[in-house]
Amino acid sequence: MILKAKVYNKIFAFQSLKEVMSKANEEKSGDELVGIAAKSASERVAAKLVLSNLTLEDIYNNPVIPYEEDEVTRAIYDGLNLRIYQEIKSWTVGYLREYILDHKTTGENLLHISRGLTSEMIAAVAKLMSTMDLVCGSKKLRVQSHCNTTLGIPGTLAFRCQPNHPTDSVEGMLASLKEGLAYGSGDAVIGINPVEDNVETVSRLLDTVKNFMIKWEIPTQNCVLAHVTTQMKAIEKGAPVDLVFQSIAGTHKANDAFGVSAAILDEAFALAQRKGSATGPNLMYFETGQGSEVSLDAHLGVDMMTLEARTYGFARGYRPFMTNNVSGFIGPETIYSGREVIRADLEDLFMGKLHGLPMGIAPCYTNHMKADQNDQEMGTLLCAMAGSNFFMGVPGGDDVMLSYQDTSYHDDASTREILGLRPLPEFEQWLEKMGILENGKLTERAGDPSIFDK
């Protein structure tokens, strides 16, 4: 394993694979905060150069966090297909990049080698990829999943309708839900973040959405994004849960901080299978994002991007219906600017897809970072071109409960029309039946929540 590189007249030596991995990253404030980012532009290139020459076997033999100490590492290694790994272990990371981009390599080929790639290998190759590289790679990969409806069908783009309310008011939530549906948002899931994390609130919201779906015959899935343990109690008490939600992270320590573990997720998945209300087989909804480990001081000296890949390695065993990445959600200490968010979104979309996950992106920003609406809209279009399966849908782009900005109902409709993408088929039929959509375009009637008030 060669950890030394010469960039023109300067020589750079690195101590470990972990160091190479962090220094090969594009600039992000979270890596700088932890003190593991490259010190100069040349050092960054040197790290990329070293990385490009490492083999997949080198990476396999040097997990950034030891197997014995970390449940996430164990999930990644135990879930690996060793036969496929054996076939490709001599590839260098640089070769892997070219293989991914090669015209002869199809999405199917990529999903095949995916099973023999550890999360660190996937992170490594993404570190060698530019913006367009990431878009090209992502676009090839199409992962479908099925809960009540099928997500990820080529030519479609779906949205989570996110009708959050600052007091969990059922009527207030319904008002935002109707507005979202009237713009064609809500085919991925109708997902509410509750203010109060208790069984009563969670069950009330689940029942309300489920009844609304039944009354208006809406082909989609419901979810209330409380802590997983609260949702499990709600299921036990008979609440209708299509998708079980949980935030997850890339280290055992960060997952402890989130109050989750493989054992809890196993139990949740089993419960969804036995007592959930959906068809399945995909019943989980995960949320991830670069920086949560840094924010919880649970990064163990590993860079944010590699940790994000590890999070996907942890997720894939649960065959989720959707994995949503929210990298701009935390603040400037982890992701400083619009430029950093866009880069993170593209990295995450690619890394998630190469893990075989049905990925969606929330190109979002908070008011304490250096990003604005223009950055967000650029990120959205790029991720849509790269084939994100879904985005969020927030009234006017402003989440009045979580206090951040995300794709709006307007952005949802715009993105579909700009790129000629369609809603999920059953949902499109429903939109046509309701008179909201015609030939893939909003009708005169669209955007009016009162069509549900007959």
Q: Which residues pair with 161 in a beta bridge?
A: 190, 393
**Partner that binds at residue 337, options another protein, ligand B12, none, CB closer than 5 to 8 Å by kind:** none
265 binds ligand B12 (CB under 6 A): no
**Partner that binds at residue 78, options ligand B12, another protein, none, CB closer than 5 to 8 Å by kind:** none
CB of 382 to another protein, least distance (A): 18
**Dihedral of alpha carbons 170, 176, 182, 183, sign:** negative
The residue (of 152 and 328) whose beta carbon lies closer to ligand B12 is: 328
CB of 96 to ligand B12, least distance (A): 31
CB of 416 to another protein, least distance (A): 8
Residues 118, 124: contact at Cβ < 8 Å?
Answer: no
CA dihedral 344, 345, 347, 348 (to 10 degrees): 110
Choice from 209, 346, 402, 437 touching ligand B12 (CB under 6 A): 402
301 binds another protein (CB under 8 A): no
Which one of 100-108, 110-118, 252-260, 435-443 is the stretch in contact with ligand B12 (CB under 6 A)? Answer: 252-260
Task: Give the DSSP letter of residue 390.
Answer: E
**Dihedral of alpha carbons 244, 247, 249, 254, sign:** negative
Which one of 60-68, 100-108, 187-195, 340-348 is the stretch in contact with ligand B12 (CB under 6 A)? Answer: 187-195
Choice from 114, 149, 246, 306 touching ligand B12 (CB under 6 A): 246
Give the span between the Cα atoms of 140 and 136, in whole angstroms. Answer: 7
Choice from 173, 224, 234, 437 touching another protein (CB under 8 A): 173
Give the span between the Cα atoms of 297 and 355, in whole angstroms. Answer: 26
Task: Give the DSSP letter of residue 197.
Answer: -
CB of 142 to ligand B12, least distance (A): 28
Which residues, 6+ apart, have CB-to-CB distance to 296 below 8 Å?
Answer: 249, 253, 254, 257
The residue (of 134 and 402) whose beta carbon lies closer to another protein is: 402
**Partner that binds at residue 193, options ligand B12, another protein, none, CB closer than 5 to 8 Å by kind:** ligand B12
Choice from 3, 17, 24, 33 touching another protein (CB under 8 A): 33
Residue holding tokens 């040197």? 46
Residues 192, 241: contact at Cβ < 8 Å?
Answer: no
Q: Is 360 helix (H, G, I), strand (E, B) or coil?
A: strand
CB of 285 to another protein, least distance (A): 19
CB of 290 to ligand B12, least distance (A): 11
329 binds ligand B12 (CB under 6 A): yes
The residue (of 223 and 413) whose beta carbon lies closer to ligand B12 is: 223
247 binds ligand B12 (CB under 6 A): yes
Give the span between the Cα atoms of 427 and 254, in whole angstroms. Answer: 37
Give the span between the Cα atoms of 190 and 241, in whole angstroms. Answer: 11
Give the span between the Cα atoms of 284 and 345, in whole angstroms. Answer: 21
Residues 80, 313: contact at Cβ < 8 Å?
Answer: no
Residues 117, 56: contact at Cβ < 8 Å?
Answer: yes
Q: Which of residues 384-443 bind another protein (CB under 8 A)?
A: 395-405, 408, 410, 413-414, 417, 442
**Partner that binds at residue 292, options ligand B12, another protein, none, CB closer than 5 to 8 Å by kind:** ligand B12
449 binds another protein (CB under 8 A): yes
Indicate the annotated binding residues for adenosylcob(III)alamin: 194, 246, 295, 401
Site mask for another protein (CB under 8 A), range 316-335, x = bound: ---------------xxx--
Cis peptide leading into residue 166 (ω within 30°)? no
Give the span between the Cα atoms of 138 and 353, in whole angstroms. Answer: 7
Q: Is 12 helix (H, G, I), strand (E, B) or coil?
A: strand
Indicate the annotated binding residues: 160-162, 193-194, 246, 287, 295, 401
227 binds ligand B12 (CB under 6 A): yes
Choice from 295, 306, 327, 337 touching ligand B12 (CB under 6 A): 295
165 binds another protein (CB under 8 A): yes
- HEC string of 209-240 equals HHHHHHHCCCCCCEEECCCHHHHHHHHHCCCC
CB of 443 to another protein, least distance (A): 12
Which one of 155-163, 292-300, 301-309, 376-384 is the stretch in contact with ligand B12 (CB under 6 A)? Answer: 292-300
**Amino acid identity, residue 81?**
N
Element (H, E) at 166: none
Which segments of 103-145 does DSSP mark as H helices, in order? 107-114, 119-127, 131-140
**Amino acid identity, residue 284?**
M
Contacts with ligand B12, residue ranges (CB under 6 A): 193-197, 227, 246-247, 257-259, 292, 295-296, 329-330, 401-403
Contacts with another protein, residue ranges (CB under 8 A): 29, 33, 163-167, 169, 171-173, 175-176, 178-179, 183, 195-198, 227, 229-230, 256-259, 295-297, 331-333, 366-368, 372-373, 395-405, 408, 410, 413-414, 417, 442, 444-451, 453
